[in-house]
Structure 1
Amino acid sequence: MRMTGIVLAAGKSLRLGRDKLSVVMPDGRSLAAWSLEAALDSDLEQVVCVVKPEDSLAWLPVKWFDSATYTYHPTARLRIVVCADYASGMANSLHSGVLSALEYKPEGILMLLGDQPLLQAQDINRVTAALASHKLCDYVAATDGEGGKPPVAFRSHMFGPLLSLHGDEGARKIMRSANYSGIHVPLPEKRFWDADTEPELERILNDVFESNKKDS
């Protein structure tokens, strides 16, 4: 099943009070690079990363910065898409990603957030594989037991409903609608940790430090 990934990385980081994407992780990569590279290491055909106009992309690893494209290219692994009106709501970033993904004519798209650094490539693959095998589902979402959450994959016929979202509406509105059917793929709870606040960011960093200690 041909799948295009959309990484939403145009958030305002209001609750954290500083740019969360550029937070340096223990291995020297940025927080957003962890999320993006999970997508790039997965089975997704290509990845569209939605950013805001003022993003310098300093958080992006050099190898991807040098190879990324800013326009449609059928063989490019990573495409950077700038969302000029990101500040008006999440739906605008989502629209930018979906419209760009449509150019690749995928059978489905998978959306994930740029601030979920503990998500892994195999988690993404589990969600996309579930969409491929459950052919009657409109979508497949990950879950920690408390409803559907990103990463979430949608079949191509769902692009219209996604593009009908507005303001701060996100994919969750569709997942809560009785008009569409989906299933959930359980993932470890920490995969959903994001960095909205300093305590949440500290929890992520501490988990990575502890994991590195166990591996050493």
Structure 2
Amino acid sequence: MQLTGIVLAAGKSSRLGRDKLSIAMPDGRCLAAWALEAALNSDLEQVICVVKPEDSLAWIPAEHLNAASYSSTPETGTRLQIAICTDYAYGMAMSLQCGILTAMPHHPEGVMMILADQPLLQARDINRVAEALAPNKLCDYAAATDGRGGKPPVAFREHMLGPLLSLSGDEGARKIIRNAKYAGTHVSLSDSCFWDADTEPELERILKYVNGLR
């Protein structure tokens, strides 16, 4: 199943109070680069990274940035596409819409939403969610879960792009997966996959965990 990944990296970092994307991780990469590279190392057909207009993109490793496309139309041989969301300040839904509209010319069989501030997500986790959707023809989506409902990363079939585009404000994909109108399947991932860097204590937990793996 050909899925286009949409990495959402246009958040305001308001709860953390500083740019979370560029926070240095123990291996020298920036925090958001971990999630982006997980997407690029997965089996996703294309990867679209949604960013703010003022983003310097310095957090993206040079080898990926130099090979990326900024065109509004797909380019042959280019797997990473940078999409600039000018309306990101109006809420999560605008970033989602920007990513979906950028994905549509690729004619994917579906899209997967991935959050840039969850650095412990790995390519194999992304693949597991994608693989859960492919054989379940009656499912509208496949979502990751920690046992407390569906959460990103979440993959949607192509016919779900309309409902996703109808979201507004700070509404995200969770509004869709919590709607009983739609059928989905859940994939259990380890708790650390869902850790984000919204606050300083949450960031410290991530850094402590990564240091413990070294």
The CA deviation string for residues 16-66 of structure 1, in whole angstroms up to 9 with x for no partner, is 000000000000000000000000000001100000000000101000110
The amino acid of 2:19's aligned partner reads D
2:161 aligned partner: 159
Instruction: Find the aligned partners of 1:139 and 1:74 in 2 and give their Cα distance.
Output: 28
Stretches (4+) displaced over 2 A: none
1:84 aligned partner: 86
Superposed, 1:127-146 pairs within 5 Å as 127-146=129-148
Superposed, 1:191-206 pairs within 5 Å as 191-206=193-208
The CA deviation string for residues 159-205 of structure 1, in whole angstroms up to 9 with x for no partner, is 00000001111001101111100010000001000000000000000
Gaps (5+ residues) in structure 1? none
Instruction: Find the aligned partners of 1:170 and 1:74 in 2 and give their Cα distance.
Output: 30
Counterpart among 184, 194, 198 of residue 182 in structure 1? 184
| Structure 1 position 74, deviation (Å) | 3.7
2:163 aligned with 1:173, yes or no? no
Instruction: Find the aligned partners of 1:82 and 1:101 in 2 and give their Cα distance.
Output: 13
| Structure 1 position 135, deviation (Å) | 1.1
| Structure 1 position 75, deviation (Å) | 2.6
Question: Normalising by the residue count of structure 2, what TM-score does the alignment of the two structures yield?
Answer: 0.98
Instruction: Find the aligned partners of 2:27 and 2:142 in 1 and give their Cα distance.
Output: 32
Superposed, 1:1-216 pairs within 5 Å as 1-71=1-71, 72=73, 73-212=75-214
The amino acid of 1:49's aligned partner reads C
Question: Normalising by the residue count of structure 1, what TM-score does the alignment of the two structures yield?
Answer: 0.97
Instruction: Find the aligned partners of 1:133 and 1:173 in 2 and give their Cα distance.
Output: 24
Instruction: Find the aligned partners of 1:156 and 1:61 in 2 and give their Cα distance.
Output: 30
The secondary structure found in structure 1 opposite 2:125 is: helix
State, as a whole percentage, how many aligned pairs show the same letter. 68
The amino acid of 2:171's aligned partner reads E
The amino acid of 2:69's aligned partner reads T
CA RMSD of aligned residues (A): 0.6
Give the count of matched residue pairs.
212
Instruction: Find the aligned partners of 1:78 and 1:69 in 2 and give their Cα distance.
Output: 6
Instruction: Find the aligned partners of 1:66 and 1:55 in 2 and give their Cα distance.
Output: 16
Instruction: Find the aligned partners of 2:4 and 2:22 in 1 and give their Cα distance.
Output: 24
Instruction: Find the aligned partners of 1:210 and 1:14 in 2 and give their Cα distance.
Output: 28
Moved more, 122-131 or 74-83: 74-83
Instruction: Find the aligned partners of 1:75 and 1:98 in 2 and give their Cα distance.
Output: 20
Instruction: Find the aligned partners of 1:38 and 1:23 in 2 and give their Cα distance.
Output: 17
